[in-house]
Amino acid sequence: MSDYQAPIKDMLFAMRELAGLEEINQLPAFGEATPDLVEAVLEEASQLAAEVIAPINRIGDEKGTVVEDGGVRVPEEFSAAYRQFTAGGWSGVSMPAEFGGQGLPYLVGLGVEEMIQSACLAWSLCPLLTEGAVRALQEHGDPALQGLLMEKLVSGEWTGTMNLTEPQAGSDLALLRSQAEPDGDGYRVTGQKIYITWGDHDMTDNLVHLVLARLPDAPEGVKGLSLFAVPKYLVGPDGAVGEANAVKVVSIEHKLGIHGSPTCVLAFEGAFGYLVGGPHEGLACMFTMMNHARLSVGLEGVSISERAYQLALAYAKDRVQGRVHGVEGAVTIIHHPDVRRMLLHMKACIEGMRALVYVAGGHLDMAHNHPDPAAREREHTRVALLTPIVKGWCTEMSQQLTSIGLQVHGGMGYVEEAGAAQHFRDARITTIYEGTTGIQAGDLIGRKILRDRGAALTSLIADIAASDAELAAHGERLAVIRQALAASRADIAGAAEWLAGNVSGDASVPGAVSFNFLMLSGTLLAGWYLAQSAAIASERLAAGADDRSFYEAKIVTARFYAEQMLPLTGAYRKAIQAGGDSIMALSEEQF
């Protein structure tokens, strides 16, 4: 038996009850994605994850990747798993059917992606980057370029990469210096890119690098960036792989975790590339990739935490140590209240995080596919608001949760053989890549809250308020949850009001309060979804549903979260309302 079992029941609960799967399935774009089909897809994917991908996780961590003869070599087990993955059509689950994908809702793709990420985070990054490239080409590429590249990428025959960062330009893309010169029907791209995830490997015959660079007449700053598709090997008009392009692997990084994922320094030395989108429209193209990737990385926070939870839970059910009141002899450590607290903390947060990501995914399906333009706009606004919270909060939580998973193991957790340490190391990248937590928090405050004067946030708070009557209907059973949620809702409303009243006088305020605002938002939203889950569970129990154990656990889990997590919103609110004075008061020398 694999040491990873996909939590399909909770995934389906979140998709159906919270993220609107049934409504999405009825959209014209997904006429054939019946609920039964979704369940079958998830079941099949869970086998792939457990039997093919989960076993390579440790191997990738221990073997790592190497540069040989100018290219990156990954463990053979990785290539073997990749062959099974593409042979099963898994690369294209939610990718466009016109290019050979399965065309299922993005939401369903998230479920498959969660399993793959839980099974092996390092490996899962390769398909993730490919999917980002597909979405950028689909939205911004011209038909000729799509014809040349899309089918190969959708099938996974080739993989994609995302080339943004340069040594002097990480979070600040305005500082990018890579150049592109027109040459015949294409361009010659020159520059050095760093932190290129799966920037080279030997799993496929070709790779397509999407590269941000500047055309000769480009304006300064981010408005002068253009996006280029640069294949590793040149591609003939018939799609055949030809000679090597002028892209060199300079080195790979020696990292804390995700050792199985090669993080490359790439040198583009007049490499031939195709323009994606218009000149100087690179930023918009990049945001298409990035917004997708940010939801995926938020999901990584869920996935790696779920894997860590399963490992800690198995250990807690097996390890005998200590005694408890009312039980004869030594007990397994899951009997100890403090160990149960740790496990329940993981479980409750993970279920809340999963709901948050899936709900965002559901909104994205609606934003892309709803027949009513006004509904699309509304859904787009909501997913834009949720995206930095998904990315920022879920990955921040994954630091805490994988650390608790290690802690449950005691001394064994610190020994690499136990596996808990790998999850802890692997998780650590998630708050950094695809925009650090600080970048997400800045996006939330600046672009998503202040720019529309809080309209999107106000609408979200109103939706949360609308749950109150529903919770009230369940009386005492959900009273603790209802009360805690109302208090947290008042916290976000109060914080938002304070922000509106204090932002104009002090330029440091948005940056000073952004992290706490992001944490407040994520903590509250997960609590809201868990509260809704508890209400649904309570209804099902009242209606005599079969699976009483699952629904009872949902209520307990939501109550635990309301007791232990939701009170944090009060602390975040106070920190926000303290503003930026203390933060800005010290000189550099006083630090």
Q: Which residues, 504 to 563, sit near its own copies by CB under 8 A?
A: 507-508, 510-512, 514-516, 549-550, 552-553, 556, 559-560, 563
Selected catalytic residue, list 434, 476, 552, 589: 434
> Residue 68 pairs with which residues in a beta bridge?
71
Exactly one of 313, 465, 490, 541 binds its own copies (CB under 8 A); that residue is: 313
Among 105, 199, 257, 362, binds its own copies (CB under 8 A): 257
User: How far is it, in rounded angstroms, from Cα 526 to Cα 530?
Assistant: 6
**Nearer of residues 29 and 222 to its own copies, judged by Cβ:** 222
1 scored as a contact of its own copies (CB under 8 A): no
Q: Which of 55, 88, 170, 494 binds its own copies (CB under 8 A)?
A: 170
Distance CA 481, CA 469 (A): 13
For its own copies, the closer of residues 148 and 526 by Cβ is 526
> Which of these, 494, 484, 478, lies nearest to 523 by C-alpha position?
484
328 binds its own copies (CB under 8 A): no
Residue nearer to its own copies on the CB measure, 235 or 401: 401
Tokens 């440790």 correspond to what residue?
A: 58
H or E segment to which residue 189 belongs? strand 186-197
Nearer to its own copies, 372 or 497 (CB): 497
CB of 357 to its own copies, least distance (A): 21
At CA 262, angle to CA 257 and CA 263, rounded to 5? 80
Minimum CB distance to its own copies, residue 332 (Å): 8
Can residue 334 be called a binding residue for its own copies (CB under 8 A)? yes
The tokens for 297 are: 């990385």
Give Dmax (Cα) for the chain: 82
- Active site includes 51? no
Interacting residues with its own copies between 150 and 169 (CB under 8 A): 165, 168-169
By CB under 8 A, how many residues form the interface with its own copies?
96
* Terminal Cα distance for the chain, rounded: 53
Element (H, E) at 520: helix 509-542
The amino acid occupying position 556 is V
Cα 183 from Cα 464, distance rounded (Å): 55
Q: Does 344 bind its own copies (CB under 8 A)?
A: yes
Q: Which of 20, 419, 442, 522 binds its own copies (CB under 8 A)?
A: 442
Asked if 72 touches its own copies (CB under 8 A), the answer is no
| Closest to 434 measured CA to CA, from 391, 402, 382 | 391
Residues 389 to 418: which contact its own copies by CB under 8 A?
Answer: 399, 403, 406-407, 410-411, 413-417
What part of residues 181-200 is at the interface with its own copies (CB under 8 A)?
194-195
H/E element holding 243? strand 241-244
Nearest alpha carbon to residue 134 among 317, 282, 323, 293: 293
Query: Which of 134, 520 has the CB closer to its own copies?
Result: 520
Q: CB under 8 A: which stretch of 171-179, 199-207, 454-462, 467-475 binds its own copies?
A: 171-179
CA distance 345 to 184: 59
Query: Mind telling me the catalytic residues?
Result: 434
